[in-house]
Amino acid sequence: MGTLTLVRHGQASFGAADYDRLSDLGTRQCRELGRWFRERGLAFEAVLCGTLRRHEQSLAAIAEGHGDLPAALPWPGLNEYDGDALVRAAQPTLALREDLASAEAYRAHFRLLRAGLAAWIEGRAVPAGMPAWPEFLAGITAALDHVRQRHQGDVLIVSSGGPIAAAVSQVLGAPPQAMIELNMRLRNSSLTEFAFTPKRHVLQSFNHLPHLDHPDRRGWVTYA
């Protein structure tokens, strides 16, 4: 039986014009995760990585901390949905990125994101530039199938909250809408683990941060 470890990228640049890059803290989160893997003797036989910049930067920081990761297989099906497009679908007149530093604007953004996700999953909306929900889900399913069919040991995936939450929902046989609640709880650089055989995946852990479990890193836990 193998183990698939899915890692959400480190903290990106929420509220900035370009979200798709790691913050300095995001880099530190992932570098610390790589060290944690190394200290436990984890030698991954394969790595799959989404193709967004925050995925690639997260993997680079993990590799720096670990010191011995295999070359990654780029997997576009592990890329995140377009959060701005979903928010626009929920409220077309909204001025995006306007004062997201305020607590109320932050809460409003995520209320609209929830509404946009629900409309997309239920087929009531296909936001501009995004695939329909079944197509998005197929990219994630293909990655899980690839791992089951090609590997037997420890495999690492670096992706985003949406794909990881969708993968957990599928493995648990939960309704697609469960993905929304799982997605909103995923923390940056968190680990979710599946045990797998050639026939199936089984959830072992969800959204944990063992590499940040230290008094000096209490302020390193982030969500956006």
For 7-21, what is the mean pLDDT?
A: 85
Residue 148, both tokens:
């089951």
97 pLDDT higher than 80: no
Confidence of residue 101 (pLDDT cuts 50, 70, 90): low
Confidence of residue 93 (pLDDT cuts 50, 70, 90): low
pLDDT at position 224: 83
Domain residue extents for the chain: 2-81+132-217, 82-129
14 pLDDT higher than 80: no
212 pLDDT higher than 80: yes
H or E segment and range at residue 2: strand 2-8
The distance between the two most distant Cα atoms of the chain, rounded to a whole number of Å, is: 51
CB 35 within 8 A of CB 65: yes
Confidence of residue 118 (pLDDT cuts 50, 70, 90): very high
94 pLDDT higher than 80: no
117 pLDDT higher than 70: yes
pLDDT at position 17: 67
pLDDT at position 99: 53
Of 31, 29, 11, residue with least CA distance to 20: 11
Q: How far apart are CA 107 and CA 146, in angstroms?
A: 37
pTM for the model:
0.93
Coil, helix or strand at residue 91: coil
- 2-81+132-217: CATH topology is Rossmann fold (3.40.50)
CB 23 within 8 A of CB 11: yes
Q: How far apart are CA 159 and CA 161, in angstroms?
A: 7
pLDDT tens for residues 36-58? 999 999 999 999 999 999 999 99
Percent of the chain with pLDDT strictly greater than 70: 94
pLDDT at position 90: 81
Residue 111: C-alpha distances to residues 122, 176, 187 (Å): 17, 18, 18
H or E segment and range at residue 183: helix 178-185
Q: State in Å, rounded, how far the first CA of the chain is from the last one.
A: 33
